[in-house]
């Protein structure tokens, strides 16, 4: 099905439209063989609270951004290669319903759809794209993924020492290995997490101990020890602690638009029934 869309004018038009909406804040998206598979609004769990984000699913990348003007203008574009993505369904919990995790080596986060059906559609389409990509490239999906950050408001005290109360002065920090919200004292160590950065990143004391044990077990005597940055605890370094797309909150919440998936929903254009049966493929 997707193959038939590759050369279609409608597909080219849609991609141009997406590029247009991001304007100079985004990168060029039109590429040989790239197909826009679907689009819609999902609620992304950010550091402070859940926020509406516009998502575009292509056959090889997932793009999302902040909504400046619904359907017209987006910014803060993020592009995630689908080959690196692993999805994980989340159980409904209180307010948080119809969610799943989008995990990659460098960043992992939760998103929520408006309904269970939309969740199913999104997940099925994303999974299908990943499957097709990996089959074509013969690559293995990555085994290590970045931690999903616990949202700030879920922790009023440090999740490690369970003592430090967070205040304006006692700021929250996130362990880059497990995603816990911890105090400065409990996250004074750094560790080199290669999937996420070339610089050592903040980790909690528990993860630091585990990583240290793991390394001595794997014992690569040639590897130089990573010097932990001691005493960075108070005040100083909070750089990189902020979720980069966390600001800019001006989302006028309009009526909910259902997501659009072009490979199966667009009956007026390329779709016809026997195409769906080629699924087994060669
Ligand atoms: Zn603590
Ligand atoms: Zn940790």
Q: What are the CA-CA distances from residue 57 to residues 79, 136, 139, 186, 197 (Å)? A: 10, 18, 20, 39, 26
The ligand with the least distance to the CA atom of 175 is: 2
Ligand in closest contact with the CA of 206: 2
Q: What 3-state class would DSSP assign to 255?
A: coil
Mean model confidence pLDDT for the chain = 84
User: Of 203, 235, 269, which closes a domain?
Assistant: 203
Residue 195 belongs to domain spanning = 152-203
Q: What spacing in Å lies between the alpha carbon of 165 and ligand 1's midpoint?
A: 9
Burial of 162 from C-beta contacts in 10 A (0-12 / 13-18 / 19+) = exposed
CATH number of the domain within which 178 lies: 3.30.40.10
Q: Which residues pair with 51 in a beta bridge?
A: 44
Distance 60 CA to ligand 1 centre (A): 41
> What is the whole-number distance in angstroms between the Cα of residue 156 and the centre of ligand 2?
17
**What are the tens digits of pLDDT across the range 30-41?**
999 999 999 999
The three-class DSSP label of residue 119 is helix
Model pLDDT for residues 210-234, shown as the tens digit of each residue: 999 999 988 755 555 555 444 444 3
- Structurally, how many domains does the chain consist of? 2
Closest CA to 62 of 115, 116, 107, 4: 107
Give distance in angstroms: CA of 181 to centre of ligand 2.
8
**pTM of the entire predicted model:** 0.80
pLDDT digits (tens, 9 = 90+) for 183-195: 999 999 999 998 9
Q: What does the angle CA 87 – CA 89 – CA 77 come to, to the nearest 5 degrees?
A: 50
Compute, in angstroms, the gap from residue 210 CA to the centroid of ligand 2.
9
Q: Is residue 223 part of a domain?
A: no
Within this chain, do residues 74 and 103 fall inside the same structural domain, yes or no?
yes
Tell how far the Cα of 184 is from the centroid of ligand 1, in angstroms.
Answer: 7
Q: Are 48 and 140 within one domain?
A: yes
């Amino acid at each position: 099905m997707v193959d038939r869309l590759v050369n279609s004018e409608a597909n080219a038009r849609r991609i141009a439209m997406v590029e247009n909406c991001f304007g100079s804040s985004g990168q060029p998206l039109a590429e040989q063989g790239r197909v826009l598979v679907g689009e819609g609004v999902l609620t992304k769990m950010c550091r402070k609270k859940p926020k509406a984000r516009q998502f575009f699913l292509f056959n090889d990348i997932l793009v999302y951004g902040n909504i400046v003007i619904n359907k017209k203008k987006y910014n803060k574009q993020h592009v995630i290669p689908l080959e690196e993505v692993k999805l994980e369904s989340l159980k409904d919990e209180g307010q948080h319903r119809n969610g799943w995790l989008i995990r990659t080596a460098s960043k992992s986060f939760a998103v929520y759809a408006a309904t269970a059906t939309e969740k199913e559609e999104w997940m099925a389409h994303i999974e299908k794209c990943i499957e097709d990509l990996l089959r074509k490239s013969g690559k293995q999906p990555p085994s290590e993924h970045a931690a999903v950050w616990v949202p700030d408001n879920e922790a009023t005290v440090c999740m490690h020492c369970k003592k430090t109360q967070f205040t304006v002065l006692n700021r929250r920090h996130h362990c880059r290995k497990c995603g816990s919200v911890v105090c400065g004292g409990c996250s004074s160590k750094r560790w080199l997490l290669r999937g996420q950065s070339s610089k050592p990143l903040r980790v909690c004391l528990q993860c630091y101990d585990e990583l240290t044990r793991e390394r001595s077990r794997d014992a690569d005597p040639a590897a130089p020890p990573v010097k932990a940055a001691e005493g960075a605890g108070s005040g100083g370094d909070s750089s990189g602690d902020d979720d980069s797309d966390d600001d800019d909150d001006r989302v006028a919440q309009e009526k909910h638009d259902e997501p659009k998936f072009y490979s199966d929903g667009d009956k007026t254009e390329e779709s016809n029934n026997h195409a769906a049966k080629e699924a087994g493929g060669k």
